[in-house]
Amino acid sequence: MNKLQQDLRRWFLWHVVVPAAIAVLACLAALTVVLEIWSNKTAVAVLTGLLVAAALGGLGLLAWAWWRSARYVFSLSGDASQVGVWLMRTAFGKQPDDDPVVQQFPWVRGPVPTDSPAVREVSAWMERWRGEVRAQSARLTEELSRDMLLATEFQQALLNRPYPDVPAVHIEGRLRLEFHHRYNPALAVGGDFFEFMPIGNDCAGIFVADVMGHGVRSALITAILRALISEIQPLARNSAHFMKELNHEFSDILTAMPTPIFASAFYMVADTTSRIATYACAGHPPPFQLHRDRARVTRLSNPQPKGAALGLLRHETYAGETVRLLDGHTFIFFTDGVHECTNPEGEEYGLARMEKVLQTNIYKSTTEILNSLVESITTFVRGEPLADDLCLVAVDVTTKPRPVE
């Protein structure tokens, strides 16, 4: 724009101001000569002719300069008009008829002008700009992909750590715990997670949580929860008190967040010596319990009064409940992404289907049961992408010796 202003000033100076000044000076010079030799009657006619010629020449020069100026200005106006038409038709020419711009400026429909040098220059500039944007976008996408791959690998490494041996030393005829899981995030990283915590030599804490939403934000919240769990692990033997302290610490951190965030959680403490498990629930679906000795599938009762999800109420207290640990029983923990996944018709998978799969496969190994659940869900959704993370955690209670590796 500054260059255009400079060009206009230069044209105005040399094609308007200078010719006009020359014409005026010529007229003044001729008038001065006439006044000085007015007494010479013979020269009057000659001088009058010269005066008229000078004046006509100056006026002609002035008219020529104005004509050149007008031509230049009209040329600029025409180029600007062509560029404007090109821009509007390129941007809005393919919009639907009910688009407000198309309704207000119907002339945007029509061929895009390409014969103007100004249009060709702007079009070439636009293509260069698009190329730069594409290149920058590709660089950012590649960098983001690398970061997401690293985050995915890191989260999978955390979830796929070796399971703890509980109890640390197994005595024949005594109970021990075996752990299994399946985890499929809806995106590169997820907001569901679980933790197996050895407590002493004969006890384990099983923590399963589901942070609201999914993706990077939820994954970052799970990292915060993991750090808090590690910090308050000395309290892990008391499930209700552990959940209360975790909620208190988590709520303190969330006070600085601009938007509300919460996480449902279920925590069980399984004691293989007393053969009793205690558990507390923070707005999370209770797990299924497989009674292989009776071929039954039940769900653990939700401790009353029901506790709110973590992060919602800072001073929330959580009730505890107990369940006996019996040889051959299995607990199937899950997050809502399992039973709330939908098929293309919008129908939810549901807890009833989940229970039916568990019942049908109750005498199979826990690994086979989890595989059957994942296969059943995959068949049900029929290619529909998961709207939420899918997390399954299983704990076997057994007296069988550990398999030799």
Q: In the chain, how many H helices and how many E strands?
A: 10, 10
**Domains, the chain, ordered by start:** 2-113 (no CATH), 162-398 (3.60.40.10)
Could you tell me where the DSSP H helices lie in 260-365?
336-339, 350-360
State the chain's mean pLDDT as an integer.
82
Q: Which of 192, 139, 201 is nearest to 164 (CA)?
A: 201
Tens of pLDDT, residue by residue over 60-91, are 666 666 556 655 555 556 667 777 777 787 77
Lowest-confidence region among 260-264, 331-335, 368-372, 393-397: 260-264
Q: How confident is the model at residue 237, as a pLDDT?
A: 95
Q: Cα separation of 30 and 24, whole Å?
A: 10
For residue 274, the number of C-alpha atoms closer than 13 Å in the C-beta half-sphere is 12
The answer, yes or no, to whether the previous bond of 305 is cis (omega within 30 of 0) is: yes
Neighbours of 89 (CB within 10 A): 18
pLDDT at 2 over 50: no
Strand order in the sheet with 288-291: 176-184, 390-398, 329-334, 288-291, 296-299
Q: How confident is the model at residue 52, as a pLDDT?
A: 61
Q: Cα separation of 34 and 239, whole Å?
A: 118
Q: Across 286-340, where does the E strand assignment appear?
A: 288-291, 296-299, 321-324, 329-334
Query: pTM here?
Result: 0.69
Tens of pLDDT, residue by residue over 224-251, are 999 999 999 999 999 999 999 999 999 9
Average pLDDT over residues 120-145: 83
DSSP calls for 183-209: EE-SSSS-SEEEEEEEETTTEEEEEEE
